[in-house]
Structure 1
Amino acid sequence: MFTSTFWKQAVERAVKTFAQSGVALLTGDGLGLVNVDWGTTASVAGLAALVSLLTSVATSSIGEPNSPSAVAVETEPSYPR
């Protein structure tokens, strides 16, 4: 959690979450499913990004070292040649 790689990956996830939340709300507004303005959209998307960042920090000791993911990456077995 104390490496630049971790924070780059965590911020990338948060930015993606912000964009996905914003697009979902604006699409829902355009389709008439919800009624939101730009301020509400930015507020909800910002909160989603904050939760994403906090989730990355909370799961930093579960998965791969220096990764915000809770999923451990399996390495392929090496076979002798």
Structure 2
Amino acid sequence: MSKPHSIFTRAFWKEATERAIKSAAQGAIVAGAGAAGFDALSADWRTLGGAALGMGLASLLTSVASDAYTGGGGPNLARTEQLGR
């Protein structure tokens, strides 16, 4: 019997969500860093939020694609992690 793909496990989504949150934070930082002297009160929060959402979604899709490419090896192409540890 073949093992199920890891996208159907809690461990996969835990790892993928962690990556997505990190990517979303990085996207927001990059979008906000473009302005010299960032001011939180006058920031374009729609742009920052859109960048964060886009980066988070891209990260989740990359994790799913990585799992498919590695044959259920998880969200990491390098296969250097064990899911659920």
TM-score (norm 1): 0.73
1:44 maps to amino acid = A
Alpha-carbon contact 1:10-1:56 (below 8 Å) kept: yes
Q: 2:55 aligns with which of 48, 56, 59?
A: 48
- Rounded to whole Å, the distance in 2 between the matches of 1:54 and 1:72 is 17
Report sequence identity in percent.
38
Q: 2:9 aligns with which of 3, 22, 28?
A: 3
Q: CA deviation at 1:30?
A: 3.0
Q: 1:70 aligns with which of 65, 73, 77?
A: 77
SS in 1 for 2:8: coil
Q: How many residues align?
A: 71
Q: CA deviation at 1:66?
A: 5.1
Find the structure with the greater CA-based Rg.
1
C-alpha RMSD of matched pairs (Å): 2.3
Alpha-carbon contact 2:73-2:79 (below 8 Å) kept: no
**Which runs of 5 or more residues in structure 2 are unaligned?**
1-6
**Which runs of 5 or more residues in structure 1 are unaligned?**
75-81
- Rounded to whole Å, the distance in 2 between the matches of 1:2 and 1:50 is 18
